[in-house]
Structure 1
Amino acid sequence: MKLIYKIKYILLIGIAIQCVSCSKDFLEETTYGEVDPSEIVKPENIERAIISAYSVLNGQFDSASNAYNSPDSNWSFGDVVSDDCYKGGGGTGDQNNIHQMEIYATNPTIIDVERKWSALYEGVKRSNEAIRLLNASKDFDATLKTKRLAELSFLRGHYYFELKKIYNRIPYIDETAETVADYARSNTEFTSDELWAKIEGNFQTAYDGLPDTQEELGRPTKIAAKAYLAKCYLFQKKWQNVIDATNEVMSSNYGLMGDFEQLFLPENDNNKEIIFAVQHSVDDGQPNNYNGSIGDRLTAPGGPFYSQYGFHRPSQNLINAFKTSSAGLPLNENTDILSNDFVDPRLDITVGRPNIPYKDLGILYEESWARDLATYGPYGPKKRIVSANSSYFVTTWPYVNALNYYIIRYAEVILWKAEAEMELGNLENARALVNQIRQRAIDSEKTKNLDGTADAANYNIATYNETWTDPEAARAAVYLETRLELAMEGHRFFNLVRWGIAKDVIDDYLLVEKTKRSHLTNAVFTEGKNEYWPIPQRYIDGVPEGTVTQNNNYN
C-alpha cells in the first residue's frame, strides 16, 4: 500500500526539534506537543518521526492551506517563470506574488520565496532529527535501521537538491545540529561543487543502504537513489557519470508505461515508470485533505465541473511547440496552431484546448472555462488534472486530488541519457533514445472526438529516421523532446538554467508573447540574477548579521 502521511508534527524533547523556517522565527522553537524523553527512542516513535520527514514532501508543513506557495510540483517555480505557462487566476493582482515571479521582479520578501525555503528546510530538519533518533536508539532492529537511515538520507538529499536548484547558495546542515544556533549557518560556507558533493553523498548513502524493492509504495528504492544520483550528475554536466548511472537504472525493472495518458491517472500511480513520487491521498482522515495535491489546488481549470481558480495556464508558445510537419516531426517555429494543422498527440493530453474533449467528462473544453480570458488566453491545464468523475478527486474545498507528483519517472532517465550521449558526441545513441520517447507517443491512444469515432485533431508524430550528424541540431532535438514530454510538470525553467540558455529562450519568448499578453509588458529577465531565487529576507534577518550572503543582484 501507499506510505500515507499520517503525522504532521512531532516534538522530540530530548534533542530539541527546532522550528527551521524562512520566516522571522526561523530560529525560534515551536512546541507542538510533549513526549517523555524515555519514550522518544522507542522504535514506534522513531517510525513516526521518519513518517514526519516524508510528510513534508508535498509542500504542506503547517496548518495553513497555502502550500500553493510551496508546491511539490513546482508549477510556479518551474513552469510559470518559463516559456511554458502563465500564472493565470483572476488577473495580475490575484496571487500578485507569483505575478512578480512571472515578470522576473522577484524580491526576498515574496511569500513563495519564503514558504518554499521553509518547506524544504523543514524537511531537512525532520530528516536530521530522525537520523539522530535512529543513531541514539538501542532497540531499533539493526537491519531495518540501515534501511531507514538510507531512506532519510534519500529524503534529505531530495530536499537539498530542490534547495540547490532553486536558491543555489544555501546553508548545509546535517544531523550533528543539536541547538538553535547550529541551524544559523552561512550559505557560502561551501562552494557549489562542495554542496553538490554533499548532496551526492546523501544519495550514495541511500543507494548503499536501500533495498531493491519496498513493501510500502512511496519509500525509495536502490534504483531511485541511483536515478537521483544521475540527476545530480546531469546538473553538473558530468556526462559519463550520467550515462553510467542511467545505464544501471535502465537495466532494472523500471520502464516506460505503454500509454502516455494512462500514466497520469491516479489509479495507475506507482506504475513501472514511476521511480520516485510524492504520495498523495484523499479522504484518508487527514483534516482538510492536506495529504492530497494541496500545492496544486489553485490549478483547477473552471468550467462546469471544477472550481474556477484558473492558475497554471499554458502559454501560446507551449501550444505552438507541439506543431508538427507532414512528416510528423516538430516544426519548432512558434507559429500559432490552426485547426487543420498537424500536432503531436501529447498536446491534447497535456493541455485543455477549445473544442477538444476534456478528460472523460463527455464535454468539450471551452475558452469560457478560462478565468480572465482576456489576460491569460483560452488554454487550461489537463495532464495533471484528475477527472471530476474520479473518486480520487475531491469536489469540495480545497478541490485536491490523489494523483501523485512524479519526482522522477523513467522517461526522464531516457532523456537524461540522450542528453549525455549527445554532449559526448554519440549522436546516434541520442537519436535512438529520443525515438523511444516518441515511439511511446506514437503507440499511445489519441484523444478522440466526443462520440469516439475519430481523432479530435490532426495528430501526426513520427520518430527521427534520418541519421543525426549535426551536433547543434541534435542538441535542439533533445531539448525540444524534453520540453514536450515533461510539459506542465514543473521542470522547464530549471532545464533552461542548467542548459545555459535561459536568457536567450526567455528573451525570444517575451518578444513574441508581449504582443499577445499585456500582463508580460514589464517582464525583463536579467542574466546573472533571475536564474535563481533570492535568499528569504526573514531568514537573513533571523541569523547573526553577516552570516548570509544574498544572491547576486538581489541586494
Structure 2
Amino acid sequence: MKKILFLLLLPALLTSCEDVLQENPKSLAVETFYNTKAEVESAVNAIYVPLRSSSTNGMGVYIAVLEAHIDYAYGRGSYAVLNNFQGLDNVNISRVAGAWEAYYLSIRNANLVIKNAPNGKSISKADVTSYVAEAKFLRAFSYFHLVRNWGGVPIRTEANMTEIDAKRNTVEEVYGLILSDLKEAEANLPDQVSQPGRPTKWAAKAVLADVYLQQEKFAEARDKADEIIKSGRFSLIPVATSEDFQKVFGPDIITSPEEVFYLKFSRQPGQGNLFPTLINHPGTRLLGGGGGVFGLHSDSTNPVYQQWDNADLRKGIWYSWNIGIGATSLLSRKFIDPNSLEFAGAGNDVTWYRYADVLLIYAEAAARAGNAPTAAAMEALNQVHRRAYGKPAATASAVDFKLADYPTTNSFLNLLVKERGYEFQYEGKRWLELKRTGKAREIILAAKGKTIDNKHFLWPIPVSELNYNKAIDPVKDQNPGY
C-alpha cells in the first residue's frame, strides 16, 4: 500500500482521461472537462504518466543510458557501446528518442492544464493557481532534462501547442522558459502537500538552484539552496550501516525528511520502476517479479572503487557477483525490491532531488560565488560526508574535510565532484554533472582510459521529431556527428 495517497489515485483518475490525453487529444471537450477540481487534478496527474513510464523506452531506460556514460560503472550488452564515448549507436539512439518523446508528451499534457484550467467554471481560483503552478513546474522539469541532453530544443507551450511545426530554439531561450515557469511555481505551489510526490515551493527552489548552477549564476544558486537549508524542513536520514541506506532508497518508503522532489513508484500493477530491473541479477533474489537483466554493473578493478575509502558506508552498497564476465564484477544494492511482483515493478522512487543535492549545490555555488571555498560551503559538504560514515550529519567529526586543505576553488571543486560521484551513484546525475563542470574528459580518461568524442556530449534529435516537425532541418539542425 506504499504511497497510497498519490499512486492509487492515478489509475482511478487516469483510466478515464489517459487515453484521451495521450492518444486522441482532439476528442477532449475542454469546455466540459476542466470545470471541476477533480477534473483538473486528473489532467494534472496525466502530466506524470510519461515521466513514470515503465516501458522499455521510458524513464528507467533514460536513467540507465545516463548511468552507462559515467566513471564508476559500465554498460553491459546493448549498453556496452556507451562505455566507448564515441556517440550513440542505433539501439541507444532509439532509447533516448523514447525519453525525448516522454518529456514532450509530459509537456503537452502540462500545456493542456495551463491553457484550459483557468477557464473552469466550478473550481476555485486558488485551486486553479496551484494546479497551473504544478503543471509549470513539471514543464520546466522536462525542459531542463531536454536542454541538458540535446541542447536547444523546440519550445512548445500553451500558446503554440496546436502548431505542428516548431523551430529549434536556442539554449538561452529554453532556459528563459524554464526560469519563468519555475519562478511562477515557486510563488504559487503550496508550502507542503498532502499527497507525497507532488511538488512544493521547496521543490521549485531546488530545481531553480540547480538551473542557476547549470547557468553559472552561482550567487543565485547559492542563495536559493540556502533558503531551503535555512527553512529547517529537510534533513539527512541517519545511517549506521550500509544496509541502512534502504531507509533512503528502499521500496517501502512513503516519504522522508530527505525528500525534496521524487517521482513516485509502487508495486501496484503498472506503477513500478523499471530502473532497478537494469541493475540487478536474477540470481541475487534482490528483485522480485522475474529478477533483473543487469544492464549496468561496476568492477573491483575500477579506479573509482579502488580509491574509495572502505570505511565509507556507501561503498558497502556494492557487492561482488559474477554476472558472466569475470569474478571482479560488482552489483549495487542501492535500488532493490525483493517483493516486487512483476518485471519493471519495483517500488523504489526516482530520487531526483533530495536534501543531499541541496547541500552539495549550496557548497559548490557558495565556493564559486566567492571565488574561494567558505566555512559554510565546507560544512554543507561535510554534512553529506559525515552521514556516509555513519556520523551525525550536523556534528563535527574526525572524518571531516578541513578547509585549510582545500584553499582554492578548483581544489574544493575537485573534492566536491569526487564526493558527488560517491553520493549519487545510479541516480541519473553523474554524466550531467561531469558535462556541466567540464570535468568529463579528465575523469573518464582517468577511470576508463577513454577519450570522449565531441558528438558524445549531445544526443541526436530523434527521427520521429524530424519527420513530424518540418520547421527543423534534418541536416542543419541536427546535433553534430549524427
Q: Could you say which TM-score interval applies, normalised by the shorter chain? A: 0.7 to 0.9
Preserved contact between residue 312 and residue 381 of structure 1 (Cα < 8 Å): no
1:153 to 136, 145, 166: 136
Query: What is the distance in 2 between the residues matched to 1:127 and 1:434?
Result: 36
- State the SS of the aligned residue for 1:176: coil
Matched, 1:46 2:40: yes
Matched, 1:382 2:327: no
Query: What is the distance in 2 between the residues matched to 1:478 and 1:36?
Result: 52
1:236 is aligned to: 215
Preserved contact between residue 255 and residue 272 of structure 1 (Cα < 8 Å): yes
Q: For each residue in 1:3-31, what CA deviation from the matched residue of structure 2 results, as whole angstroms up to 9, or x when unmatched? A: 21322783798xxx6x6xxxxxxxxxx43
2:294 is aligned to: 310
Preserved contact between residue 203 and residue 225 of structure 1 (Cα < 8 Å): yes
Question: What does 1:310-459 align with in structure 2 at a 5 Å threshold?
Answer: 310-316=294-300, 320-321=304-305, 323=307, 342-349=310-317, 351=318, 353-354=319-320, 367-368=321-322, 370=323, 372-374=324-326, 377-386=328-337, 388=338, 393-395=339-341, 397-423=342-368, 424-429=370-375, 430-443=377-390
1:480 is aligned to: 418
Higher helix share: 2
Preserved contact between residue 151 and residue 220 of structure 1 (Cα < 8 Å): yes
Q: Greater Rg, structure 1 or structure 2?
A: 1
- State the SS of the aligned residue for 2:457: coil
Preserved contact between residue 496 and residue 502 of structure 1 (Cα < 8 Å): yes
1:517 is aligned to: none
Which amino acid in the other structure matches residue 97 of structure 2?
E
Question: What does 1:84-103 align with in structure 2 at a 5 Å threshold?
Answer: 84-88=72-76, 92=77, 96=78, 98-103=79-84
CA separation of 1:281 and 1:140: change in aligned 2, threshold 3 A? same
Preserved contact between residue 254 and residue 272 of structure 1 (Cα < 8 Å): yes
Query: What is the distance in 2 between the residues matched to 1:256 and 1:117?
Result: 33
* TM-aligned CA deviation for residue 51 of structure 1: 0.8
Matched, 1:258 2:238: yes
Question: What does 1:154-233 align with in structure 2 at a 5 Å threshold?
Answer: 154-179=137-162, 182-187=163-168, 189=169, 191-233=170-212
Preserved contact between residue 280 and residue 293 of structure 2 (Cα < 8 Å): yes
- State the SS of the aligned residue for 1:173: coil
* TM-aligned CA deviation for residue 304 of structure 1: 4.6
* TM-aligned CA deviation for residue 121 of structure 1: 0.5
1:3 is aligned to: 6
CA separation of 1:8 and 1:164: change in aligned 2, threshold 3 A? farther
Is the deviation greater in 314-323 or in 150-159?
314-323
The TM-score, its normalising length taken from structure 1, stands at: 0.76
Which amino acid in the other structure matches residue 260 of structure 2?
I
Matched, 1:57 2:51: yes
CA separation of 1:461 and 1:537: change in aligned 2, threshold 3 A? farther
* TM-aligned CA deviation for residue 408 of structure 1: 0.3
Query: What is the distance in 2 between the residues matched to 1:293 and 1:127?
Result: 22
Which amino acid in the other structure matches residue 10 of structure 1?
C
Q: For each residue in 1:352-401, what CA deviation from the matched residue of structure 2 results, as whole angstroms up to 9, or x when unmatched? A: x23xxxxxxxxxxxx24x2x324x95211211123x2xxxx324x31521
Aligned Cα root-mean-square deviation (Å): 2.7
Preserved contact between residue 301 and residue 310 of structure 1 (Cα < 8 Å): yes
2:459 is aligned to: 533
* TM-aligned CA deviation for residue 547 of structure 1: 4.5
CA separation of 1:538 and 1:55: change in aligned 2, threshold 3 A? closer
1:134 is aligned to: 117
Matched, 1:509 2:447: yes
2:252 is aligned to: 267
Preserved contact between residue 61 and residue 275 of structure 2 (Cα < 8 Å): yes
Query: What is the distance in 1 between the residues matched to 2:113 and 2:96?
Result: 26
Query: What is the distance in 1 between the residues matched to 2:276 and 2:164?
Result: 30
CA separation of 1:267 and 1:113: change in aligned 2, threshold 3 A? closer
The TM-score, its normalising length taken from structure 2, stands at: 0.86
Which amino acid in the other structure matches residue 325 of structure 2?
L
* TM-aligned CA deviation for residue 442 of structure 1: 2.4
* TM-aligned CA deviation for residue 183 of structure 1: 4.0
Query: What is the distance in 2 between the residues matched to 1:8 and 1:314?
Result: 40
- State the SS of the aligned residue for 1:277: strand
Preserved contact between residue 30 and residue 116 of structure 2 (Cα < 8 Å): no
Preserved contact between residue 75 and residue 297 of structure 2 (Cα < 8 Å): yes
2:63 to 68, 75, 79: 75
* TM-aligned CA deviation for residue 59 of structure 1: 3.4
In the alignment of these two chains, the number of paired residues is: 454
* TM-aligned CA deviation for residue 177 of structure 1: 2.7
Percent identity over paired residues = 21
Which amino acid in the other structure matches residue 440 of structure 1?
R
Q: For each residue in 1:456-506, what CA deviation from the matched residue of structure 2 results, as whole angstroms up to 9, or x when unmatched? A: xxxx98211362324332221111111111112111110000001212222
* TM-aligned CA deviation for residue 128 of structure 1: 0.5
Query: What is the distance in 1 between the residues matched to 2:200 and 2:400?
Result: 32
CA separation of 1:237 and 1:304: change in aligned 2, threshold 3 A? closer
